[in-house]
Amino acid sequence: MSKPIKNIIFDLGGVFLNIDFSLTSKAFIDLGVLQFNEMFTQHFSNPLFELLETGKLNEEEFYTAFRKESKTNLNNEQIKQAWNALLLDFPKERIDWLKSISKKYRIFLFSNTNQIHYDSFIEKFGMQHPGEDFNSLFRKAYYSQFLGLRKPYPESFQAILDEQGLLAEETLFIDDTFKNIEAAQSLGLQTIHLKHPLTVLDLDL
């Protein structure tokens, strides 16, 4: 029998932030990067993207490496705009739900992201929810480029459990990508695979 949940670690994209990977794919293909889908999907990424997501490449280094990898001469702004095209909106009802659930549990965020996306979605949140700070909605928001670790590696989850003093069996992890769910389960976390079209509003917590 599962222990009562005291803590929840949420994913970001596909959970609170609407994303559409096909928009970034289309944007790059329109710019002539015809092989983009072989380089990056929701479930696979070229080592270049993993380096970016773990903070081992800065923004400028990423643009330079991307041009080399894709054999294109795109400028930094073209790459940035196409790379950020997948980032959509933060529906108000999900943010309201998050505020209510935070009264019942200790809540955290753990997102595989990168500084380029981070700067963009933090700005989007501020525009869509004036006067609010997204990160302050959580006890702590963990982003892979700051943590230096990313999902689905189990050590990324362990680092958060250790820093916060959380027991895995009392902690629920919610993500829309199954390989991340499997990694969390391997450490004993309780999990919910939030498959589209389900949203957090469908959860009974």
Task: Tell me the C-alpha distance between 41 and 39, whole Å.
Answer: 7
How many beta carbons lie within 10 A of that of residue 12, not counting itself? Answer: 23
* Residues in Cβ contact with 108 at an 8 Å cutoff, skipping those fewer than 6 apart: 7, 8, 9, 10, 138, 139, 140, 141, 142, 160, 164
The answer to whether 65 touches 73, Cβ cutoff 8 Å, is no
pLDDT at 45: 67
- Tell me: domain 21-83, CATH 1.10.150.240, correct? yes
> CATH 3.40.50.1000 occupies which residues in the chain?
7-18+90-202
- Check residue 41 and give its pLDDT: 65
CA 54 – CA 115 distance, rounded (Å): 10
Residue ranges of the chain assigned to CATH 1.10.150.240: 21-83
pLDDT of residue 109: 98
Four-way CATH pick for 7-18+90-202: 3.40.190.10, 3.40.50.300, 3.30.70.580, 3.40.50.1000: 3.40.50.1000
pLDDT of res. 9: 98
pTM of the model: 0.94
If you count them, how many residues does the chain have? Answer: 205
pLDDT at 2: 75
> Tens of pLDDT along the chain (205 residues)?
578 999 999 999 999 999 999 999 999 999 999 989 888 765 666 789 999 999 999 999 999 999 998 999 999 999 999 999 999 999 999 999 999 999 999 999 999 999 999 999 999 999 999 999 999 999 999 999 999 999 999 999 999 999 999 999 999 999 999 999 999 999 999 999 999 899 999 999 9
